[in-house]
Structure 1
Amino acid sequence: MYDVVRMKLHDCTTSELFQILKTSPHGLTSSEASQRLQESGPNEIENARVHWTHILVRQFKSPFIYLLLVACVLSLFLGQWIDSLMVFLFLGINTTLGFYQEYHSEKTVQLLKKYLEIKSTVIRDGKEVELDVEQLVPGDMVRLVAGDRIPADVRFIESADLLVDESVLTGESVPREKTTVILAQKPDDIYSASNIGFLATTVVSGEAKAVVIGTGKNTAYGEVAKLTAQTERMSTFERQLSQFSKFTLIIVLATLALLIIANLAIKRSPNFVELTLFSIALAVSIIPEALPVVTTFSLSLGAAHLTRKHVVVKRLSAVEDLGSIEVLCSDKTGTLTENKLVVDEINSKDQKLTALYASIVAKPSHRGSDPFYEALVQQLSPDQLIQVRSSVILREFPFDPNRKRASKVVKISDKKLLLVVGALEMMVPLCKSSQHTDPALVSWVKQKGASGKRVVALAVKELDSKFTNVTEDHLQFLGAISFVDPIKSTTIAAVHQAKQLGLQIKILTGDSKEVAGYVAAQIHLIESPHAVITGSEFEALPTEKQHAAVEHIHVFARVIPQQKYKIIQLLQEKHEVGFLGEGINDAPALKIANVALVVRGAADIAREAADIVLLQKSLKVIVDGVKEGRQVFTNTTKYITATLSANFGNFFAVSLASLLIDYLPMLPLQILLVNLLTDFPMIAVATDTVDHEAVATPSRFQLKNFILFSLVMGIVSTFFDFLFFGIFVRISAPVLQTAWFMGSVVTELGFLFSVRSRLAFWKASRPSNSILILSALIFGLVILLPYTVIGKQLFLFQSLPLAYLIVITILVTGYFLVSESAKLLYFRERRYDQPAFLSETKKS
């Protein structure tokens, strides 16, 4: 980065500045500017563009995608076009979704250029000209007026009543006074330099002349862009899915290898073709090819529900990630507070007169607005507003950081007055009255300052007609006014709800320590308003203490983008982190967070880096989103658990049974049909209702929990599969195959109704209509299919007598009851786990 502090461009004189940058008050010549443009490059953010083909290829770099591709090829090899087409459809949905998400996110950096697509008034060859900002170079002289966006990092050399809104970069809610004064001390960070202006910030009032000291990537904004561009984020859900698919692939390949070796060792003359087809069918049957569809459907439903609650979801998997967050980091300005000043209190014997005179001083002399003026005029009557507008400014002394006050000589009606507004301690020597030293007033000012409010004092002096006494002495003290950025009405309740959901909330703001502490204490986030650390204090801590700080401290003030980024990085070592922000300064933190949230009025780059956009500026919608995310997570885990347990149970039982008989216990086509039919109600899991206990705490996918539970339930499934085998194997091959087919489908349907809740099935929430209807249809089809011509001729089923159906019914009922009992026993023994289904959960 073009380090302004290192180059000492903030504390050198104007002549020294010109010498360092090799420029002059008349600016550069065209030839000098052209040469520098070749050396420094255009004033823009350059980033390597990723071609859409690269993004598309990335969609196939996943073990689960490999599984689906293998399943599709194997189905084609078996001649099962329908099954192959369904797998291909699932693959297409997953790939399309991933491509859209990544392609859209790659546009984030390109959006930075929108902040540079403006004209700027530049002095070239001694003349003022309008140039595209891309043509600016270090050493250029620019003129700025109210409403202008600062086109580069600049050092101010002339200014009048200059206020700059830096909230988009620093997060600070109140515009900063800017000056040409050389800084006496090195600032804590570059954003504290009052004589420096930053790219993409906006002049609120006043005017200035400034020299360009940094362009493009060599600016504070350029560093933010660099962080945003270099940050790569993988969804928590995507990591979990990759983990699950690798596990499935290893189990399938290992089991099939053992099956083939065992068949070759046990059977004297095995049918290699038949064995190969059987192994391929088993492999296809165990692959949960509907998982992408279930997930996409669940996420889409969740996103649709959130849309009705004024939340726009840009990255679908963020819905599920939202349910897993344990820490929510939020910028204060515009999120917890209103991002506007209001008058808190007027301490004066004549409040109306104090508000009137203060409004006249605060009224901008140039184009633009002043937040203090906008707050003060709300206290005025219509007659007073007319007085303010009709007052004549005869002389003006703008705010000066050294004087810490601003003065105006005004004519109001027939009176000529000197009005002075500033910090109370600077007004003390100027006033003739002792009122300003009243202990009660001093205590009031200290109390307001400690609570994060901004206080200004006002004094007046009546002038004679010849202005012989225009000096800032013997002033009459009128009173003091405190200002505050009010907390939103919904914030306190939302923070309370977040705590009930097990969410830690941390404030990361560019505002002062006092303001941040006051807000945090008011919303009951911290007990003491002093429990705050600044970004520079945090940066000075040793590494081990930084880790401790992010865990135990909830409010970070005066943080710059790089510090927000680091805080979230450290938190992510132990937690799933969501970040809520809205400024340019938030973009890197938004992109690295597990879930990135912004409000509707956020800066474009922040909105593009986000996963979720809140159309209403309220924490309540985040709470609703967390609940929705946990419901999606729960339904997705229902599918994984049901398929993993049932499929593995059947997989191992059929594999072992094949070693005990001279024919296949189930034909390859029948195995694929079981897989196909059970997929339909499984997909409907996405619409299922969720128990309240499942959304009560943050939950995280843990493969070991799935393996353990699936092992327990798989043993139950395998036991009942062998009961089917033992009862029907003595009759005939077609009877065994038909009975086992019917039993496999119906037991999997029953198992779904058991595994959908960790509660006893009669205490669980009612299943969705989609599950009930599809399950009934599949059950009816399975019962009827063996008696149809298609079932007999295509799938080689055999009609079963009523007695056999009764036996199957008894076995299925027994399986359901034993599975239900095993489930309840499993959760009772593991009752230290939190309620979220089959997940690792944590309490804040």
Structure 2
Amino acid sequence: MTLFKHLFASFLNSRHLARLFRRSELPLPTAQGAAKVLPNQLGLALGLAAREAQDALFERLTSGSNGLSQEAAQAVLERDGPNEMGHEKALGWHQRLWQCYRNPFNVLLTVLALVSWLTEDVKATIVIGTMVVLSTLLRFVQEGRSSRAAERLQALVSNTATVLRDGQSCELAIRELAAGDVVMLSAGDMIPADCRLLAAKDLFVSQAAMTGESLPVEKSAEAPSAAITDPFDMANLLFTGTNVISGSATAIVLSTGNRTCFGALADRVVSSERAPTAFQAGINSVSWLLIRFALVMAPLVFVVNGFTKGDWSDAFLFALSIAVGLTPEMLPMIVTSTLAKGAVLLARRKVVVKRLDAIQSFGAMTVLCTDKTGTLTQDEIVLERHADISGQESEDVLKFAFLNSHYQTGLKNLLDRAVLKHVEMLNKLNLAQDYRKIDEIPFDFVRRRMSVVVSEREDHHELICKGAVEEILSCCTAVRQGEQVLPLDDAMLARVTEHTRSLNAQGLRVVALAVKEVPPQKAEYSLADESDLTLIGYIAFLDPPKDSSAPALRALAAHGVTVKVLTGDNHLVTARVCRDVGLQVDGVILGPDLDALGDAALADVAERNTVFAKLSPLHKERLVSALRGKGHIVGFMGDGINDAPALRAADIGISVDSAVDIAKEAADIILLEKSLMVLEEGVLQGRRTFCNMLKYIRMTASSNFGNVFSVLVASVFLPFLPMLPVHLLVQNLLYDVSQIAIPFDNVDAELVAQPLDWNPRDIGRFMLFFGPLSSIFDIATFGLMWYIFGANAEAKQTLFQSGWFIVGLLTQTLIVHLIRTPKLPFVQSLASPALLAATLAIMALGIWLPMGPLAHAFKLQALPMAYFPWLLSILLAYAALTTLMKRVYRRKFGWQ
């Protein structure tokens, strides 16, 4: 046994057995933001196009104000190709079949089948070939189903665009757009390609998906100044994947497909070859461990039998069969089937698995990084308070807020909609009946405020200004408290500031309201009129937590998964939401504070703290990589283009079906519902998958080790082979068939309570611990057949081999139930009906083969009835000893 321990120690100390469940990460961007990962050539080309004279631009693109002609557009499409992004190319069926076949076990078995054929052992060739074909085809079918489900999820960012062709407006599929096309844009449209504006009116565009900016950006047709070098800061450029919030525009297409900024970012994700996942590395390390074991033991059996029996030809065939028996050829199929079953179950929970291996990472995940909006919260802003400056509820404040939101025609954001909805719910839409609109001063993101001017009963004009607290205060000289108007002095300013901070700390987003009475004769108003205002109060908004967030977080915590919030939002609001949903806030860190930290310091900060706010895209990626560097298995949930690098950097990337295309491309898991509850189910399913795969590996490894140990003992003392090669092959094939039901087996609840870490070293230890137990009863069977039933000469070797064939197969099959659970089998933990049926059928078939009409074909013979009471005794004793040793093993090493 000491020899075997040293042997395994050398196997297990391989450098390849690195920590599992890791994915190699992409190189980090060198600077912040999406713009910083654009190729220099693309950035320069966009800058030149933004400043180019309009006539020169039309001439270069062979276009004009009426757009391209159909002939010109067709010529451009033939030159540039369709306007679509390069996705990871799907493999053809023959390539997928090759991938399913190409694993160490199948290659080894193919070599063994070839050797069997060359030595004219037809039966062995057929049996080994059947194993390879069965394993490959089952995996091919299962992966094909999962692949087709993932393909159905892929969708373009937008389907059609309004285009001018030959001067006529028409709707075209986005893939049919060509450089030089003139497109018409309005609120709600996705930008279909990289464009330059020709004309724009009150145009606001959300670039959050590209740059991570939380607020929309105002765009205009004016050329940028020479000081602006970043394409994303150029007001006359529009980018694929962004969308129009408000206003309208006419723009000319500069570039399409992979030549766009979107395409450059997509190419960074798609073109980088995906390194083998840590799960794949782990499976491969275990595979090579078992193969190395077979490569040592098979020659040892060959030498022992050659010297003791003198027939080197038979010894070679027998050693060949031992090599096949030691190879867990069904491992790839069991792994794929188990993962595919998990994918099917998750699909029922609105989770689509793009890559089967990701299910395993779900089970191993220890840290989940997620955004706040839409995940912890409902992503639906509601008006929570309308109060005067002292915090008392005020109908006047609500009325003026409604008038401002109702009459403005510019950017109607979520806050405006929340005000209008709140008033509608209160059935107070008559608030505007005494007013008519005179003018408005539109919102912009420099002033961060907007004003409307209304006339009350044609008596006087009222300017109502709404915006960010600090911007409103900068225009105010007085405050209204009750019926009094008081000056806004330093003491009052401090009081107002403290009150708004208190509201922020409660998780509320605060907007201030100020008014000013102006003469009724004036008809037009400008920014200069936003002065000498009187602050009347605040409206405060809340993005309410989801009802499912708190129980989901409790469930994830109970299962050993730590949730960290990574957001670009306000830190006070984020911290309050976290507290509301029961997420313990162990420190709040702001994005700018991370810039000065080195990798080691960042890793410590990432591990200690829970909430990270005001983050840029690079901050998110650095935090994910830092957590992985500290040994955590990290899941990242994101849905924007700026999330794609972090999605790839994480061990498991999670996105939603409403995400931008590149985020879905980078993700491993797609959620059809943006909820943490489905993630909890994914974690549990991943752990069940892990447990079922581990069962097969443990069963096969320990059983095979015990069989080889028994063969070595028998080979030394017996004058004939303890079992013929065909017996070993048939026994192995029957055992493998019984394992097909393992993916459908039940898993004990306590085995999935915490993240699972799989170490090949533990498998070797398990093999050494439980393998020799079966050898004890194999040797007892040898004595039984030799002394009790007189099978002690070559003339009676068939009787001996038949007796051991049944014992070997039944103990192998029984071990499935004995070590599938740390509990008492059949009593405290029962296998699934499918596994029970499969193992019972194989045990019955194993007894029938020597006793039935096919016995002669397999060189077996019927056993006397007196054999079966002995068989039952051996099986009961084996079950009792294994159950006892399970307790010893569990106390000493644990079960997982």
Which TM-score band applies after superposition, normalised by the shorter structure? 0.7 to 0.9
- Is 1:203 aligned to 2:244, yes or no? yes
Corresponding residue number in structure 1 for 2:421: 378
Unaligned stretches of 5+ in structure 2? Answer: 1-33, 64-71, 482-487, 792-796
Partner of 1:551: 607
**Which aligned pairs between 1:642-791 and structure 2 lie closer than 5 A?**
642-729=699-786, 731-732=790-791, 733-761=797-825, 764-791=828-855
Aligned-residue RMSD, C-alpha: 4.3
Counterparts of residues 77-476 of structure 1 (less than 5 Å): 77-80=121-124, 81=126, 84-98=129-143, 114-115=156-157, 118-119=160-161, 144-152=185-193, 161-169=202-210, 175=216, 198-207=239-248, 220-231=261-272, 232-267=274-309, 269-272=310-313, 274-348=314-388, 351-363=394-406, 369-381=412-424, 384-385=428-429, 388=432, 392-411=436-455, 413-414=457-458, 416-428=461-473, 430-431=475-476, 433-435=478-480, 437=488, 438=492, 440-450=495-505, 453-467=508-522, 471-476=529-534
1:289 maps to a residue whose letter is E
Q: For 1:45 and 1:742, how far apart are their aligned partners in 2? A: 60
Cα distance change of structure 1 residues 331 and 427 upon mapping to structure 2, 3 Å threshold: closer
Query: What secondary structure, in the 3-state scheme, does the structure 2 residue paired with 1:699 have?
Result: coil
**Counterpart AA for 1:145:** S
Give the distance between the partners of 2:732 and 2:500, measured in 1 at CA: 74
Question: Structure 1 residues 428 and 701 mapped into 2: Cα distance closer, same or farther (>3 Å)?
Answer: closer
Q: Which amino acid aligns with 2:359?
A: V
Q: Distance in 2 between matches of 1:25 and 1:366?
A: 30
With over 3 angstroms needed to count, the CA separation of the structure-2 counterparts of 1:123 and 1:646, relative to structure 1, is closer
| SS in structure 2 of the partner of residue 249 of structure 1 | helix
Displacement of 1:132: 8.8
Q: Is the 8 A contact 2:157 2:661 kept in 1?
A: no
Tell me if 1:510 matches 2:568: yes
Partner SS for 2:854: helix
Equivalent position of 2:625 in the other structure: 569
Judging changes above 3 Å, is the alpha-carbon distance between structure 1 residues 360 and 18 closer, same or farther for their aligned structure 2 residues?
A: farther
Q: Cα distance 1:48–1:281, how it changes in 2: closer, same or farther (>3 A)?
A: closer
1:621-679 deviation per Cα after TM superposition (whole angstroms, max 9, x unaligned): 21122112212211221121111111221123224423433321111222122223323
8 Å CA contact 2:350–2:672 kept in 1: the answer is yes
SS at match of 1:337: coil
Partner secondary structure for residue 639 of structure 1: helix
Distance in structure 2 (CA, Å) of the matches to 1:598 and 1:738: 57
2:59 counterpart residue number: 30
> 1:681, 1:771 within 8 Å by CA — same for their partners in 2?
yes
Tell me whether 361-370 or 695-704 shows the greater mean CA deviation.
361-370
Mapped partners of 2:260, 2:507: distance in 1: 31
How far apart are 1:337 and its partner, in Å?
Answer: 1.8
- Return the alpha-carbon distance in structure 2 between the equivalents of residues 828 and 739 of structure 1: 35
Q: Which residue of 2 aligns with 1:841?
A: none
68 and 611 in structure 1: CA distance in 2 versus 1, 3 angstrom threshold: farther
Cα gap change, 1:559 to 1:84, in 2 (>3 Å): same
* 1:43-66, Cα deviation, whole Å (9 max, x unpaired): 764578566355554444432332
8 A Cα contact 1:18 1:24, kept in partner: no
SS at match of 1:494: helix
Structure 1 residue 213 displacement after superposition: 8.8
Q: State whether residues 464 and 513 of structure 2, in contact with CA within 8 Å, keep that contact through their aligned partners in structure 1.
A: yes
Of stretches 649-658 and 799-808 in structure 1, the one that deviates more from structure 2 is: 799-808
Please name the residue that 1:798 is paired with.
861
Q: Distance in 2 between matches of 1:128 and 1:26?
A: 21
Q: Does the 8 Å CA contact 1:165/1:203 hold for their aligned counterparts?
A: yes
Is the 2:364–2:755 Cα contact (8 Å) retained in structure 1?
yes
Secondary structure (helix, strand or coil) at the match of 1:315 reads coil
Please list the CA deviations of residues 758-810 of structure 1 after superposition, one character each: whole Å capped at 9, or x if unmatched. 2344763222223333333333333343332322x122323333443333333
Amino acid corresponding to residue 259 of structure 1 in structure 2: V
Distance 1:523 1:67 in 2: 54
Please identify, of 726-735 and 138-147, the stretch whose mean Cα deviation from structure 2 is larger.
Answer: 138-147
Structure 1 contact 326–575 (Cα < 8 Å) conserved = yes
> Tell me, what secondary structure is at the counterpart of 1:204?
strand
Query: In the alignment, is residue 629 of structure 1 matched against residue 686 of structure 2?
Result: yes
Does residue 816 (structure 1) correspond to residue 857 (structure 2)? The answer is no
Can you list the C-alpha shifts for 1:127-162, whole angstroms capped at 9, x where unaligned? Answer: 999999789999999875322323456788986544
How far apart are 1:295 and its partner, in Å?
Answer: 3.2
- Shifted more, 251-260 versus 208-217: the winner is 208-217
Secondary structure of the equivalent of 1:556?
Answer: strand
1-structure distance, mates of 2:699, 2:683: 24
Instruction: Give 1:728 deviation, angstroms.
Output: 2.3
SS in 1 for 2:541: strand
Residue segments in structure 1 that go unaligned for 5+ positions in a row: 832-836, 839-844
The TM-score normalised by the length of structure 2 is 0.80
Shift of residue 41, structure 1, vs aligned partner: 6.8
Cα distance in 2 for partners of 1:619, 1:642 equals 35
2:808 partner letter:
S
SS state at 1:261 partner = helix
Amino acid in the other structure paired with 1:461: K
Structure 1 residue 396 displacement after superposition: 2.1
How far apart are the structure 2 equivalents of 1:784 and 1:47? 54
Following TM superposition, by how much is the alpha carbon of 1:24 offset from its aligned partner in structure 2, in angstroms? 2.9
Could you tell me how far apart the structure 1 residues matched to 2:694 and 2:262 are? 42
Q: Structure 2: how far apart are the matches of 1:308 and 1:8?
A: 46
Quote the residue 2:18 is aligned against.
Answer: none
Number of paired residues?
Answer: 820
Match of 1:63 in 2: 104
Equivalent residue in structure 2 for 1:493, among 520, 527, 551: 551
Greater Cα offset, 580-589 or 381-390: 381-390
The answer to which of 719-728 and 151-160 deviates more is: 151-160
| Distance in 2 of aligned mates of 1:104 and 1:305 | 13
| Larger CA deviation: 751-760 vs 768-777 | 768-777
| 322-331 or 296-305, which deviates more | 296-305
Residues 334-359 of structure 1: per-residue CA shift (max 9 Å, x gap): 22222232212211367334233323
* Letter of the 2:60 counterpart: S
TM-score of the superposed pair, with normalisation by structure 1: 0.84
Matched letter for residue 324 of structure 1: A
Amino acid at match of 2:538: A
Counterpart Cα distance in 1 of 2:651 and 2:372: 19
- Stretch deviating more after TM superposition (667-676 or 222-231): 222-231
Compute the displacement of 1:533 (Å): 3.1
Structure 1 residues 64, 316: closer, same or farther in 2, change over 3 A?
Answer: same
Distance in 2 of aligned mates of 1:672 and 1:390 = 93
- Indicate the SS of the match to 1:740: helix
- The structural deviation recorded for 1:571 is 3.1
Give how far 1:88 is off: 0.7
One-letter code aligned to 1:735: L
Name the CA shift for 1:6/1:319 in 2 (closer, same or farther; >3 Å): closer
Which whole-Å CA distance do the structure 2 matches of 1:479 and 1:393 have between them? 22
**Is the 8 Å Cα contact of residues 51 and 223 (structure 2) preserved in structure 1?**
no
